[in-house]
Structure 1
């Protein structure tokens, strides 16, 4: 389990931060905030700050529960429900523990990246509303690119890991 300590700690730290952000921003936000921007980066939807905070909190709670359930329940699924290269090898008694350790680690990182990315985007929206600017900064696209690169790296790493099998067993 010690191999999970670091990714699990990061996941729960990011989740905690995602719930602290609204507490920090709420008093600084105007009563009505821009909640959506179109492809031209122009505001096209507004909502009360209370609604925005509630939606953010519910979204973060949903993501936290979803990733936690996936991490907990997938190892309990029947073998036939799991899609994996070399499934018989990776899900046999000798390799099952390692397989789900790798999977749990992957899901903790994916959850951290997802919740972290959404928190950064929401922070950008809040900062834009606080400063009175009507456009999001270019940082949103940088966050998006970083998220895609990291998720691609994680997926490739997983595919490579599960594509290898020990021919001696």
Structure 2
């Protein structure tokens, strides 16, 4: 399963703080979101929910019939990079556009634009703005996980 969420980009330390806020014993979504907000500078519940889902995509949080709980997966860059590429919708497509020549966010968006599903295009009045922002976040997370580098000219494969 690939998760569509890509919250605002943070450091690995901030991601670890959000993960650490989720209990080891399953708890409901509301309590987990509240804990994430208290443990980090996440501004609102909706953004906290995005982080909770993102943590789940990375394998750092799991869900049971009793709620969400923190897994015992180590927070290392290689594991996160693999989970990000495989489990976050659009991440592989964005990364596949990168090579040794830097590409701007606009160029990466233009390359992945045809891959945006029809249902996503119909879901938002200004889907191109939404997906341009999403591509920018995906590139930011890819940089955080060591999958690409940001240069003055744009992003390039690591």
TM-score category of the 2 structures, normalised to the smaller one: under 0.3
Return the index of the structure with the highest Cα Rg.
1
Of Structure 1 and Structure 2, the greater helix share is in 1
Q: TM-score, normalised by structure 1?
A: 0.25
Point out which structure has higher relative CO (alpha carbons under 8 A, 6+ apart): 1
Q: Normalising to structure 2: TM-score of the pair?
A: 0.26
